[in-house]
Amino acid sequence: MTTRREFIQTLGATGAALAGLSACSGGGHGGGGTATQPPLPVPAAPILVVVNIDGGYDWLNVMPPNAGANLPVYQAKRATLGIDQSTLIDLGSGMGLNPDLTGMDVLHTAGRVAWIPGIGMPNPNLSHFTAQDLWGQGAATPAGTGWLGRFAEAVPSWGALQGLTVTPDLIMMLRGLSRSFVSITGPGGYVFPAYLFSGNTMPDAALIETGWGNSLSAASSNLGYQAAAAAGKLFYDAQNNPAFGTGGSLLARTPSVPYPGDAAYPIKRADNGGNLTSSLSNQFKLIAQMIAAGLPTQVFFSRLGGWDTHSNQAVDHPNLQRALGGSIKAFWDDLASITTPSGNAQDRVMIITYSEFGRRVQENNGGTDHGTAGLSFCVAKSVKGGLYGGYPDLTNLDANGNMKFTTDFRSLYATVLERWLGQATATTNTLLGATYPRLTFL
């Protein structure tokens, strides 16, 4: 694990190395091509870990312009909050990487990160709730289900353990008509999810926990009941699964590396008491524990909140970045220590991130307001590292001073569904309701 002092000491050499990377072919641009580790084939048993950067990610201060026509616009509109250009790691093509996104420089240099700046949608909505639902539905014509929920329904053999969220809620992205993800938020396993019921009548707990098959078919039109019944199946399976200890608890596991929030984690921050939030770290530790325990989960959902930085951004944003990047890097390193029947866990996992929107280019009093085009990135041994799509033109903002999106978010979904999760081209298009260009990082 690189300390901040070591990171800064190697900044010059790393930046020079990254600046020399050539453009990716077929849709990548800048920062790709000469990776120190070539991509591996997509694994036979892939695992997808989704990270929701919740609140509206000000990625413009994560991957700021460092040259070209965008730079003076950025400097003028971010006179107070703009990132010092001398600290940036050069990604080429007029872009830099903020070193506060801890550990991502190492993964980038290894060719393990596909960056998608400017990702967004036509006619964006800047309400957190509506935008989160639009990202969740991921469809040409929204119909009240999520793209991952529909994916679960498209897999005939999909079981209750195959789609899990380690958050305490069930957002739109994870809901289907007949199948939905279920929640496990701690090593104790399943907790009866009363909050998932959409009606006023509380079904009998014993029926759901032991007779989940009957309960599932008894109220097939009720999404809340469906989710609770699926959770009941998970509870029942957990009690009879050797991956769980007595009482349905996951077998204990000690992470192989320190995570942000751990006492041994080297990168601290003096102005927030010396510690970084362990929220995402704890979720990743649980996911690693589940993978190590042999659960057949194919898709995990996680979240790091706090990104609605209308004020105090100069302090909050660096801390959030260190927690995000540091957690991803620690999780990535931890996965390398896990052997599964289908191979090393690090070979099998792809991490993808998204946020419901970006932030406005013009800073306000100590922060930034809701904006449009955002940033997603993917980490895996199988990705062709580099920059995909186009960096928004800061000299050509919309009437509200927002960036115009350059990559439709459903292109990311289509790429993941088809090239990582193995869905046929026609099935992928059906799940998304239209055909979207595939990105070439896979």
Q: Which two tokens stand for residue 162?
A: 């195959």
Residue range 152-195, pLDDT digits in tens: 999 988 876 789 999 988 899 998 887 778 778 887 655 444 44
Q: Any idea which residue has 């059906």 for tokens?
A: 430
C-alpha 346/C-alpha 349 separation (Å) is 6
Taking the CA atoms of residue 1, residue 53, residue 354 and residue 118 in that order, the dihedral angle to the nearest 10 degrees is -90
Q: Are 230 and 216 in contact (CB under 8 A)?
A: yes
Q: Which two tokens stand for residue 290?
A: 């589940």
Q: For position 25, what pLDDT does the model report?
A: 30
Q: Any idea which residue has 């994560």 for tokens?
A: 62
Would you place residue 226 in the very low, low, confident or very high pLDDT band (cuts 50, 70, 90)? low
Find the range with the poorest average confidence among 5-14, 48-57, 126-135, 187-196.
5-14
CA distance to 35, 38, 234, 299, per residue, from 383 (Å): 11, 9, 32, 18
Q: For position 242, what pLDDT does the model report?
A: 66
Residue range 310-343, pLDDT digits in tens: 999 999 999 999 999 999 999 999 999 999 999 9
Q: Are 347 and 110 in contact (CB under 8 A)?
A: no
Q: For position 267, what pLDDT does the model report?
A: 72
Would you place residue 36 in the very low, low, confident or very high pLDDT band (cuts 50, 70, 90)? confident
pLDDT higher than threshold 50 for residue 278: yes
C-alpha 192/C-alpha 225 separation (Å) is 12
Domains annotated for the chain, with CATH where assigned, are 4-187+250-432 (3.40.720)
Q: Which two tokens stand for residue 121?
A: 């949608």
Q: Are 297 and 162 in contact (CB under 8 A)?
A: yes
pLDDT higher than threshold 70 for residue 258: yes
C-alpha 118/C-alpha 408 separation (Å) is 9
Strand ranges in 107-188 using DSSP code E only, listed in sequence order: 113-120, 163-165, 182-183
CA distance to 91, 103, 138, per residue, from 329 (Å): 19, 6, 28
pTM of the model: 0.86
Q: Any idea which residue has 């801390």 for tokens?
A: 319
Question: Higher confidence at residue 148 or residue 160?
Answer: 148
What average pLDDT does this structure show over 410-436? 98
Q: Are 305 and 54 in contact (CB under 8 A)?
A: yes
Would you place residue 240 in the very low, low, confident or very high pLDDT band (cuts 50, 70, 90)? low
Q: For position 333, what pLDDT does the model report?
A: 98
Would you place residue 3 in the very low, low, confident or very high pLDDT band (cuts 50, 70, 90)? very low
Q: For position 250, what pLDDT does the model report?
A: 75
Q: For position 188, what pLDDT does the model report?
A: 66
Question: Higher confidence at residue 384 or residue 275?
Answer: 384
Per DSSP, the three-state class of 148 is: helix
Q: Are 216 and 233 in contact (CB under 8 A)?
A: yes
In the predicted model, what is the mean pLDDT of the chain? 83
Q: Any idea which residue has 């958050």 for tokens?
A: 167
Q: Which residues pair with 120 in a beta bridge?
A: 408
What share of the chain has pLDDT > 70, as a percent? Answer: 76
Q: Are 65 and 316 in contact (CB under 8 A)?
A: no
Q: Which of 178, 181, 183 is nearest to 194 (CA)?
A: 183
CB atoms within 10 A of CB 419: 18
Residue range 287-297, pLDDT digits in tens: 999 999 888 89
C-alpha 278/C-alpha 284 separation (Å) is 10
Question: Higher confidence at residue 213 or residue 345?
Answer: 345
